[in-house]
């Protein structure tokens, strides 16, 4: 696989299949996803013909990562409308499919509002369905644009914080093209650094239990020709201690009004390590991830995932004996603590990079100002 992708810094897409797209074959409209549960072994499409199929794809993480969840939610509403299903019911199901990434409900609401406004104006469900699709497409396009602007601002910040260049960046989970209409959030910044020759190494946390780092970020890094190295989550401490990390770059699923950042579980320990070792801890996320209605970190609902994701390792080639269909790595009946996310308090975050600007230091006032500015645009 590596040869095929060797040093292709200009190849901005990580796969030959777009992460998400809308299609209108003769049988009716569909939302087509790249099934991320099958990566990196196979690039397989998942075709969703209705909102419940999309809800299942979201729950199973076939499509995942905050920005693209918003896009999926919006397309899901458009799909229900175009196929003549109950749009309100579809919207409720989609918005509730996963609780932590605020982008999902933001995307659903945007398409639903467009649908309702067009229906109220024209009284025509067909027109309203078109309006929902237009809204979903606009969100998709805007996310791609936001991604490019975050990359630019993030790279400028890295250069400012680390004037020597040759950045060694540690990242967690997956934040590239697979989570976005564009090139992603934190990963897009690392990619921008790579393209101008300033990325010395991307350290990729494997990201237990579902291995988004090993399966997806390593995949995207390899395709982009980046110098990257995979580590177990537990190895991050010794990497910091060895002075091998210049900055941590992560994404976010929800940023509360006070600047608390919910992101993939394992992010908070990295923030603590970064503070101890005087390394910048930088969060990269679109403004849609900032949720002014969530006052603080304690108010963020953290998704709890099934225990079998921890007690088993998904290995389809191994005889299936575990309750979740994977290979058990703990005695049967073992219970597991499996929060999908953790929350980093604002005082541990050096900066939040958005498409509208950089917030540093991270304060409620600065975030509020950023959100107000983005509403004016």
If one asks whether residue 177 binds ligand MRU (CB under 6 A), the answer comes out as no
Region near ligand MRU per CB under 6 A, out of 8-16, 179-187, 308-316, 362-370: 179-187
Listed residue (312, 60, 268, 34) closest to 172, CA to CA = 268
If one asks whether residue 101 binds ligand MRU (CB under 6 A), the answer comes out as yes
- List the x/- string, 198-237, binding to ligand MRU by CB under 6 A: --------------x-------------------------
Residue nearer to ligand MRU on the CB measure, 33 or 340: 340
Catalytic residue status for 253: yes
If one asks whether residue 260 binds ligand MRU (CB under 6 A), the answer comes out as no
Beta-carbon contacts of 144 under 8 Å, excluding residues fewer than 6 positions away, are 180, 181, 182
If one asks whether residue 128 binds ligand MRU (CB under 6 A), the answer comes out as no
Q: How far apart are CA 220 and CA 194, in angstroms?
A: 13
- Packing angle between helix 102-122 and helix 125-161, nearest 10 degrees? 150
If one asks whether residue 39 binds ligand MRU (CB under 6 A), the answer comes out as no
Tell me how far, at minimum, the Cβ of 289 lies from ligand MRU, in Å. 8
CA distances from 233 to 168, 280, 307, 367 (A): 17, 18, 19, 30
For residues 111 and 73, the answer to whether their CB atoms sit within 8 Å is yes
Residue nearer to ligand MRU on the CB measure, 165 or 303: 303
Region near ligand MRU per CB under 6 A, out of 25-33, 48-56, 250-258, 363-371: 250-258
Q: Which of 14, 93, 107, 251 binds ligand MRU (CB under 6 A)?
A: 251
Listed residue (154, 206, 162, 191) closest to 355, CA to CA = 154
Task: Quote the tokens at residue 9.
Answer: 């810094």
Nearest residue to ligand MRU, by Cβ distance, number only: 251
Alpha-carbon torsion (332, 335, 340, 343), positive or negative: negative
- Packing angle between helix 87-95 and helix 102-122, nearest 10 degrees? 170
Q: Which of 19, 185, 288, 338 binds ligand MRU (CB under 6 A)?
A: 185
Give the three-class secondary structure for 213. helix
Tell me how far, at minimum, the Cβ of 22 lies from ligand MRU, in Å. 21
CB atoms within 10 A of CB 147: 27
Task: Give the footprint of ligand MRU on this chain (CB under 6 A).
Answer: 61, 64-67, 101, 173, 175, 179, 184-185, 212, 251-253, 263-264, 340
Active site residues: 253
């Amino acid at each position: 696989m590596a040869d095929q992708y060797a040093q292709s810094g200009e190849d901005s897409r990580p796969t030959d299949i777009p992460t998400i797209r809308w299609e209108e074959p003769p049988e009716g409209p569909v939302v087509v996803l790249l099934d991320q549960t099958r990566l990196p072994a196979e690039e397989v499409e998942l075709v969703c013909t209705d909102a419940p199929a999309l809800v299942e794809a979201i729950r199973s993480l076939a499509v995942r990562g905050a920005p693209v969840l918003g896009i999926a939610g919006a397309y899901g509403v458009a799909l229900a409308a175009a196929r003549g299903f109950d749009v309100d019911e579809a919207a409720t199901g989609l918005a509730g499919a996963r609780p932590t990434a605020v982008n999902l409900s933001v995307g659903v609401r945007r398409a639903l509002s467009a649908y309702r406004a067009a229906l109220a104006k024209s009284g025509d469900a067909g027109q309203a369905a078109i309006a929902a699709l237009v809204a979903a497409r606009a969100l998709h396009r805007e996310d791609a644009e936001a991604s490019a602007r975050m990359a630019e601002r993030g790279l400028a910040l890295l250069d400012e914080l680390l004037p020597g260049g040759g950045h060694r960046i540690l990242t967690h989970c997956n934040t590239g093209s697979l989570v976005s209409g564009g090139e992603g959030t934190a990963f897009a910044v690392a990619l921008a650094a790579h393209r101008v020759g300033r990325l010395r190494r991307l350290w990729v946390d494997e990201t237990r239990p579902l291995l988004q780092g090993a399966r997806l970020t390593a995949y995207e890094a390899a395709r982009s020709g980046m110098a990257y190295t995979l580590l177990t989550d537990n190895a991050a401490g010794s990497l910091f201690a060895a002075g091998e990390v210049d900055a941590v770059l992560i994404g976010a699923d929800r940023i509360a009004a006070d600047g608390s950042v919910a992101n993939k579980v394992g992010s908070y320990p990295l923030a603590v390590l970064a503070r101890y070792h005087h390394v910048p801890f930088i969060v990269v996320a679109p403004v849609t991830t900032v949720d002014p209605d969530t006052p603080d970190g304690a108010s963020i609902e953290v998704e709890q995932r099934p225990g079998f994701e921890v007690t088993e390792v998904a290995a389809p080639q191994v005889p299936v004996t575990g309750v979740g269909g994977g290979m058990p790595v703990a005695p049967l009946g073992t219970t597991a603590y499996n929060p999908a996310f953790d929350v980093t308090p604002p005082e541990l975050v050096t900066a939040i990079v958005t498409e509208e600007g950089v917030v540093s230091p991270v304060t409620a006032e600065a975030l509020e100002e950023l959100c107000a500015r983005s509403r004016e645009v």
